[in-house]
Amino acid sequence: QKEVEQDPGPLSVPEGAIVSLNCTYSNSAFQYFMWYRQYSRKGPELLMYTYSSGNKEDGRFTAQVDKSSKYISLFIRDSQPSDSATYLCAMGDTGGFKTIFGAGTRLFVKA
Amino acid sequence: KAGVTQTPRYLIKTRGQQVTLSCSPISGHRSVSWYQQTPGQGLQFLFEYFSETQRNKGNFPGRFSGRQFSNSRSEMNVSTLELGDSALYLCASSLLGTGDEKLFFGSGTQLSVL
């Protein structure tokens, strides 16, 4: 079993839709949770960063962490064609010297 | 401030050959991590270096190795290439390399093994 599970999609939505992306994990030591966005032929870039459980909002993006269920989510409101990319969840703990990534979900937003 | 630079961008090799990939981190960053990205497996952790020392290693065979130089630049080497090694190899840098830090990625080296 992988430490982090993420549905690879693809996920196709119309412009303006609300998008929900999710990951589950098994290692209870993870305390830091991130979402990276990767455009084609580019490296991933950090989109959202949260510590422990709770919500964090940044513009159209909201990240949620539920440590009791070992479940994290990313919501995108009013999705745009420019949001079309691969979204990777990632997590780590302070002393682990590594960040573990999910497989990534490919998102297509159609105009 | 210059970003993470990976060279070369593309490589084509044949089975049995070896390959060396290079990564220059952001100035001031002392940690370099390497990841292998494939459509089926996503981003898989290879290893992490800090101050020329490997501090963590993923579940890859010994054919995959790396090193870091005193200027924080890093190289990874894959010997006796196999078809399954075809992938995008990504390098990421950060200040300290702890699991709570933001990673800055390069654009990767796309390796094709024929």
Is B95 touching A (CB cutoff 8 A)?
no
Chain-centroid distance of CA A82 in Å reads: 17
> Cβ–Cβ of B50/A31 closer than 8 Å?
no
Q: What is the dihedral of CA A44, A49, A52, A53, to 10 degrees?
A: -100
- Residue B60: band (very low, low, confident or very high) from pLDDT cuts 50, 70, 90: very high
Mapped onto helix, strand or coil, the DSSP state of residue B40 is coil
> Cβ–Cβ of A99/B41 closer than 8 Å?
no
Residue B107's CB: how many other CB atoms inside 10 A?
16
> Cβ–Cβ of B43/A104 closer than 8 Å?
yes
List the single residue in B44, B97, B105 with the smallest CB-CB distance to A44.
B105
Judge whether residue A93 has pLDDT over 90: no
Is B60 touching A (CB cutoff 8 A)?
no
- Annotate B17-56 with b (16+ C-beta within 10 A) or e (fewer): eebebebbbbeebbbbbbbbbeeeebbbbbbbbbeeeebb
List the single residue in A36, A41, A92 with the smallest CB-CB distance to B100.
A92
Question: Mean pLDDT throughout A66-75?
Answer: 95
In this predicted model, what pLDDT tens digit does every residue of B85-109 receive, in sequence order?
999 999 999 998 887 889 999 999 9
Radius of gyration of chain A (CA): 13
Do the beta carbons of residue B27 and residue B10 sit within 8 Å? no
Chain-centroid distance of CA B94 in Å reads: 13
Judge whether residue B81 has pLDDT over 90: yes
- Indicate the residue type of B67: R
Judge whether residue A15 has pLDDT over 80: yes
* Nearest-Cα residue of chain B relative to residue A49: B102
> Cβ–Cβ of B103/A32 closer than 8 Å?
no
Question: Mean pLDDT throughout A54-65?
Answer: 95
Q: What integer pLDDT is reported at residue A2 of this predicted model?
A: 82
B74, burial (CB in 10 Å: exposed 0-12, middle 13-18, buried 19+)? buried
Q: What integer pLDDT is reported at residue A88 of this predicted model?
A: 96
Question: Mean pLDDT throughout B42-61?
Answer: 94
Judge whether residue B57 has pLDDT over 80: yes
User: Token digits for A9?
Assistant: 């999609």
Question: Mean pLDDT throughout B32-60?
Answer: 93
Q: What integer pLDDT is reported at residue B100 of this predicted model?
A: 81
Report the alpha-carbon distance of residue A8 to residue A104 in Å, rounded: 5
Contacts of B71 (CB under 8 A, 6+ apart): none
User: Token digits for B63?
Assistant: 């054919």
Judge whether residue A97 has pLDDT over 90: no
List the single residue in A6, A98, A104 with the smallest CB-CB distance to B99.
A98
Which residues from A are below 8 Å from B90, CB to CB?
43-44
Judge whether residue B78 has pLDDT over 90: yes
Judge whether residue A33 has pLDDT over 80: yes
Chain-centroid distance of CA B65 in Å reads: 9
